[in-house]
Amino acid sequence: MAKPKSVYFPYFLSGQIGLYVKVFQVSTGNYLDYTDGTFKVAPLNPDTPLSEILTAPSIYYFTESRSVWDDGEYQLYAYKPVDTIFSVANLSILNDEEVSASVVESDLKRALGLMHENIYIDLPIYDSDNNLVSARVRIYSQASSVGTSSDIIGTYLITAGGDGPGKFTTWSQVKE
């Protein structure tokens, strides 16, 4: 089932009818067809009407949940026919949900950290064969903070199982 995607646009007057939005899918160059909620090269009706929030005059919104949207960037252009565009919005979609740039940035930083950029491993525990059994891994956004309690992006617990000296059989790394 498709998840709702919503965007809000300010307009200088309240009580307006005839305000619309066009939704552009950047990766394909297609526009949303208001008729069926799908993206097309030449939509039958690319003009999606905006509704005003009754408790917040002069704020108009768009909500769509009829189809699952592909991951990627979307540009929305709010306009009034005859006039010009009065507002523009960018929307990032991941798994059919709106995501903010900060969410994407946080995930990217964590991925870089897991590629062993700015990491610190401490609190090791060893077994009787001197194999690592567990340890804590921290990843940092700043190289100057490595080993401190500042700028930590994520903390992970490493656990390993061994089968004799110098031989590990399992390894896991779990976000705490």
Task: Lowest mean pLDDT of 18-32, 42-56, 81-95, 125-139, name the range.
Answer: 81-95
For the cut 90, the answer to whether the pLDDT of residue 47 exceeds it is yes
* DSSP-assigned states of every residue in the chain: -PPPEEEEEE-SSSS----EEEEEETTTTEEEETTTTEEESS-S---EEPEE-TTSTTEEEEEE-SSPPPSEEEEEEEE-TTS-EEEEEEEEEETTEEE-HHHHHHHHHHHHHHTTSSEEEEEEEE-TTS-EEEEEEEEESSGGGTTSSSSEEEEEEEEEEESSTT-EEEEEEEE-
* pLDDT reported for residue 54: 86
pLDDT digits 0-9 by tens, 67-80: 999 999 999 999 99
Domain residue spans in the chain?
5-99, 108-175
Give the confidence band of 37 by pLDDT, cuts at 50, 70, 90.
very high
Q: What is the mean pLDDT of the chain?
A: 88
Is pTM beyond 0.85? Reply is no
CATH topology of domain 5-99: Immunoglobulin-like (2.60.40)
